Amino acid sequence: MKLVVTGCAGFIGSAFVRTTLELNAASRIVNLDKLTYAGNLENLASVAQDPRYRFVQGDIADAAVVEALLAEEKPDAIVHFAAESHVDRSIHAPTPVFETNLRGTFTLLEAARAAKLARFVHVSTDEVYGSIDAPHEADESYPLKASSPYSASKAGSDLLALSYFTTYKLPVLVTRASNNYGPFQFPEKLIPLMISNALDGRDLPIYGDGQQVRDWLYVDDHCAGIRAVLNQGQAGEVYNIGGNCSLPNLEVVRRILKATGQPDSLMKTVTDRPGHDRRYALTSEKLEKETGWSPQMDFDRGLALTVDWYRDNREWVERVRSGEYRRFYDVNYAQR
């Protein structure tokens, strides 16, 4: 399969490129990425010389760039990862969230429609279901109830993508995954932030009471789920991809402190995130039944691998933490 993938200089997209090429599961991958603060070509250094891989710097909201790329590459499918992906940033600065997640997705869908593309996988999130009371969990028909500008933009782009199937018969598939973790994740998200701060002996900022629950999915399991949807999913359908691992944030942070050998006293309670969703929970039964996929990584093993990676890649962390990251850290944490 010849793929155009968007946003693969980021965390999950780069893992998708590395693992897909390693498994020989695509004959060519063209990565269209704008290189925002979250895009880092270092994440793709291991495949940069691979003749099956090409990088194109560009904005998914730029119709001319997208149309020219599809005309030149004639891919079998688009896998669409590119997004502004951080909830806190979406609260401080929603404009790029709208531009990329909504306008960018619209631009890609329009170009895909014109090019009569055979498959379009839109990578989305369980955040679109909003906070879910225990013991319920969302299946794919659960109502959408987005809380942040980020989750609202993802819910909107999911609906837009599905409308292209209903109206234009563009073979769109939507995936909704839970919280990912693993190597190369930008240290603004819970797990990499807490690991990198713990390794430096810095404070670990816990929003509110820390009892919010997330389902944790190892990034390579997510990528395998996306490949299962790409190859075996039904057009026009939505597929949840979860890790079967629900934990309160405080428990995750305690395990990080244990894995890094740091004391619990590093944990500091700070002002809660506005509109903070209390609990995410989903079932991936549909994907498991239709494709045979299931998450393989045990959380403690995945966390140990991730801690080791951050310990061994301090220079990567230092480089991404310089410049823009410091400004964001001040904006997000100084007032809390």
Catalytic center residues: 126-127, 150
Which of the choices ligand NAD, ligand DAU, none does residue 260 contact, using the CB cut-off of 5 to 8 A by kind?
A: none
* Residue 183 or 262 having the CB closest to ligand NAD: 183
**Contact letters for ligand NAD, residues 67-96 (x by CB under 6 A):** --------------xxx-x-----------
* Residue 249 or 284 having the CB closest to ligand DAU: 249
> How far is the C-alpha of 257 from the C-alpha of 195, rounded, in Å?
8
Note whether 61 binds ligand NAD by CB under 6 A. yes
DSSP characters over 197-225: HHHTT--EEEETTS--EEEEEEHHHHHHH
> How far is the C-alpha of 198 from the C-alpha of 327, rounded, in Å?
20
Q: What tokens were used for 167?
A: 């109206």
Q: Which of positions 211-240 make contact with ligand NAD (CB under 6 A)?
A: none
Q: Mapping DSSP to helix (H, G, I), strand (E, B) and coil, where does residue 333 land?
A: helix
Note whether 180 binds ligand NAD by CB under 6 A. yes
> How far is the C-alpha of 186 from the C-alpha of 310, rounded, in Å?
11
* Residue 205 or 295 having the CB closest to ligand DAU: 205
Question: Which one among 7, 225, 242, 295 touches ligand NAD, defined by CB under 6 A?
Answer: 7
Write down the least CB distance from residue 14 to ligand DAU, Å.
15
Strands 204-207 and 267-270: parallel
**Closest by Cα among 227, 133, 234 to 177:** 227
State residue 247 phi and psi, 5-degree precision: -145, 145
**Closest by Cα among 181, 278, 291 to 239:** 291
Q: What tokens were used for 49?
A: 């010389």
Write down the least CB distance from residue 43 to ligand NAD, Å.
8
* Residue 115 or 193 having the CB closest to ligand DAU: 193
Write down the least CB distance from residue 301 to ligand DAU, Å.
20
Question: Which one among 10, 75, 130, 192 touches ligand NAD, defined by CB under 6 A?
Answer: 10
Write down the least CB distance from residue 118 to ligand DAU, Å.
27
Q: Mapping DSSP to helix (H, G, I), strand (E, B) and coil, where does residue 73 land?
A: helix
Which residues contribute to the site for ligand NAD (CB under 6 A)?
Answer: 6-7, 9-13, 33-36, 38-39, 59-61, 81-83, 85, 100, 104, 123, 125, 154, 177, 179-180, 186
